[in-house]
């Protein structure tokens, strides 16, 4: 009897080891009940299938298939749920690597857990600069963190300034507004702090007048008071930095009020296909930074978007760059010939102009993507009559044009 029990215990202990030896286990951690998590998962599924169809990842001459672990972090509701999910995939599911994450507050907490276990964690959602600053300040602990998308908040700011400059140029030229008036509407959360400060400091230098800064709650579902105040201030541009439901009500209420001002900035909800329906068709002219479109930012982008749309019947958001994260891991593993995170870190650090579906990536000393227009900056899109039209950077093949309310 004792022998049977011992055999069962040995088999139970050996089972995960055997599984781990046969496959590369990659945990996809994200808010799976939401579009962000769904995109994390869908991007990862495409990567897994592409890799496995080609025979798997070559690890020191041996081909290993990719196995994904689906982990709902519920991070939009609870940071502790997110850290529990991270703990679970590492300790129970024996993940070799982790990709995903969305909400900065939750990703900061999950980063701590992943670093405790020295697990490579490739972020595909959070913008807060502190994630990268941690790497610079305490390299030995945080070197296992790499950010894939988006760029850090300060670099998002640089992209925003570049696009804003382009829009202001059109305003000056077409509507003869020499000093366009800008209202800043940013939800009060950690990732918007740097952006708001940078805007307040730099817009006057760009010959734009800041008429006010409004900071609603990230869970706000009504901005009528804010929009009334913005209307009264005579803003030409409403600069948005919103990731929650406020992005939808903003689009809808601006449309209902037939505001002359145009909205541009980061509006995570406006990146989704469901935005037009959610605003009941009122979100015309709302524009936002985005990552994917039917444009040639890299040679891999259009084929990826087509494959994604054909399989999932929707277009990808930036969180689907889990595809790139897994491909980065594959390339690093094949180069290093091992799954050892400590040996993979220097290989990933050595990537130069690594071409992915979302951009062309080089990591800096904080393991943040080195910013560049047309490489990691992403694109800007505008909703025009139910279609999301990419319009920036103009030099990229396939871009449309930016439109103003009232213009044909």
Partner 1 sequence: MFQDILVTGLVNGGVYALLAIGFSLIFGVARIVNIAHTAFYMLAAYCFYTLLVRLHLPGALAAAIAVVAVTALSVLCYRLVIEPVREHESAVLISTIALALIFQELMLYAFGGNFLGIPSAVDGVLVVFGVSIPYQRLLILVVAAAMLAGTWFLLYRTRLGLAIRATANDLEVANLMGMNVQRVAMATVAVSVALAAIAGVVVAPVFVVDPFMWLTPLVTMLAIVVLGGLGSLKGSLIGALIIGYVEAITVFVLPQGAFLKGAVALSIMVAVLLVRPEGLFGVVFEEER
Kindly list the residues in this chain that would bind partner 1 in the complex (CB under 8 A).
31, 33-35, 38, 76-77, 187-188, 212-222, 224-226, 228-229, 231-232, 245, 248-249, 252-253, 256-259, 269, 272, 274, 277-281
Nearer to partner 1, 39 or 360 (CB): 39
Cβ-based neighbour number of residue 184 at 10 Å: 24
Nearer to partner 1, 80 or 219 (CB): 219
Minimum distance, C-beta of residue 211 to partner 1, in the bound complex (Å): 10
Q: What is the DSSP letter of 51?
A: H
Q: With H, G, I as helix, E, B as strand and everything else as coil, classify residue 324.
A: helix
Q: Give the separation between CA 139 and CA 65, rounded to whole angstroms.
A: 31
Nearer to partner 1, 56 or 283 (CB): 283
Q: Let me know: does 140 contact 116? Beta carbons within 8 Å.
A: no
CB environment 38-61: b (16+ within 10 A), e (fewer): bbbbbbbbbbbebbbeeebbebee
For 59, 124, 186, 202, 239, the CA distances from 199, given in Å and listed in that order, are 47, 25, 11, 5, 9
Nearer to partner 1, 181 or 354 (CB): 181
Q: What is the DSSP letter of 369?
A: B
Q: Give the containing element (helix H, strand E) for 275.
A: helix 275-278
Phi-psi region of 245 (alpha: psi -120 to 50; beta: other; left: phi over 0): alpha
Nearer to partner 1, 280 or 294 (CB): 280
Cα angle for residues 224, 229, 233 (degrees, 5° grid): 145
Minimum distance, C-beta of residue 217 to partner 1, in the bound complex (Å): 4
Which residue, among 381, 347, 301, 351, has the nearest Cα to 120 in the 3D structure?
347
Q: Give the separation between CA 341 and CA 90, rounded to whole angstroms.
A: 13
Q: Give the containing element (helix H, strand E) for 59.
A: strand 57-59
Nearer to partner 1, 131 or 208 (CB): 208
**Residue 139: which residues within 8 A CB-CB, separation 6 or more?**
none
Q: Let me know: does 373 contact 280? Beta carbons within 8 Å.
A: no
Nearer to partner 1, 42 or 115 (CB): 42
Residue-by-residue DSSP string for 32-43: TTSHHHHHHHHH
Nearer to partner 1, 208 or 223 (CB): 223
Minimum distance, C-beta of residue 138 to partner 1, in the bound complex (Å): 32
Minimum distance, C-beta of residue 369 to partner 1, in the bound complex (Å): 28
Nearer to partner 1, 17 or 33 (CB): 33
Q: Give the separation between CA 55 and CA 163, rounded to whole angstroms.
A: 42
Minimum distance, C-beta of residue 408 to partner 1, in the bound complex (Å): 21
Minimum distance, C-beta of residue 292 to partner 1, in the bound complex (Å): 18
Minimum distance, C-beta of residue 358 to partner 1, in the bound complex (Å): 22
Nearer to partner 1, 274 or 398 (CB): 274
Minimum distance, C-beta of residue 76 to partner 1, in the bound complex (Å): 7
Q: What are phi and psi of 170, to 5 degrees?
A: -65, -40
Q: With H, G, I as helix, E, B as strand and everything else as coil, classify residue 320.
A: helix
Minimum distance, C-beta of residue 244 to partner 1, in the bound complex (Å): 9
User: Going by DSSP bridges, is the β-strand pair 387-392/379-384 parallel, antiparallel, or unpaired?
Assistant: antiparallel
Minimum distance, C-beta of residue 200 to partner 1, in the bound complex (Å): 10
Minimum distance, C-beta of residue 130 to partner 1, in the bound complex (Å): 21
Nearer to partner 1, 101 or 218 (CB): 218
């Amino acid at each position: 009897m004792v022998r049977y029990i011992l055999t069962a215990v040995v088999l139970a202990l050996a089972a995960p080891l055997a599984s781990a030896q046969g496959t590369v286990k990659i945990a996809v951690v994200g808010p799976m009940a939401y579009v962000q998590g769904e995109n994390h998962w869908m991007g990862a599924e495409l990567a897994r299938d592409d890799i496995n169809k080609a025979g798997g990842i070559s690890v020191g001459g041996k081909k290993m298939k990719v196995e994904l672990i689906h982990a709902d972090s519920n991070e939009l509701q609870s940071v502790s749920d997110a850290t529990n999910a991270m703990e679970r995939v590492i300790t129970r599911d024996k993940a070799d690597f982790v990709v995903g994450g969305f909400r900065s507050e939750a990703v900061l907490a999950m980063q701590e857990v992943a670093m405790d276990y020295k697990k490579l964690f490739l972020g595909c959602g959070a913008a807060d600069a502190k994630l990268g600053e941690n790497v610079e300040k305490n390299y030995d602990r945080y070197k296992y963190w790499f950010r894939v998308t988006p760029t850090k908040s300060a670099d998002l700011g640089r992209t925003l300034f570049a696009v804003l400059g382009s829009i202001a140029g059109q305003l000056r030229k077409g509507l003869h507004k020499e000093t366009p008036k800008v209202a800043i509407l940013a939800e009060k959360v950690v990732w918007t702090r740097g952006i708001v400060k940078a805007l307040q400091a730099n817009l006057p230098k760009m010959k734009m007048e800041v008429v006010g800064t409004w900071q609603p709650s990230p869970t706000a579902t009504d901005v009528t008071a804010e929009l009334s105040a913005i209307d009264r201030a005579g803003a030409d541009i409403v600069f948005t930095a919103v990731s929650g439901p406020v992005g939808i009500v903003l689009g809808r209420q601006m449309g209902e009020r037939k505001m002359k001002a145009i909205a541009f900035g980061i509006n995570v909800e406006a990146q989704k296909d469901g935005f037009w329906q959610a605003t009941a068709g009122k979100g015309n002219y709302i524009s936002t930074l985005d990552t994917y479109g039917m444009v040639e930012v890299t040679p891999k982008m259009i084929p990826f978007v087509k494959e994604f749309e054909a399989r999932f019947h929707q277009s990808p958001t930036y969180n689907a760059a889990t595809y790139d994260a897994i491909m980065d891991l594959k390339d690093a593993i094949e180069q290093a010939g091992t799954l050892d995170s400590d040996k993979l870190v220097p290989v990933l650090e050595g990537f130069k102009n690594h071409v992915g579906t979302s951009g062309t990536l080089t990591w800096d000393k904080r393991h943040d993507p080195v910013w560049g227009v047309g490489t990691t900056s992403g694109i800007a899109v505008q909703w025009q009559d139910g279609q999301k039209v990419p319009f920036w950077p103009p030099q990229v093949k396939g871009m449309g044009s930016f439109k103003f309310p009232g213009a044909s």
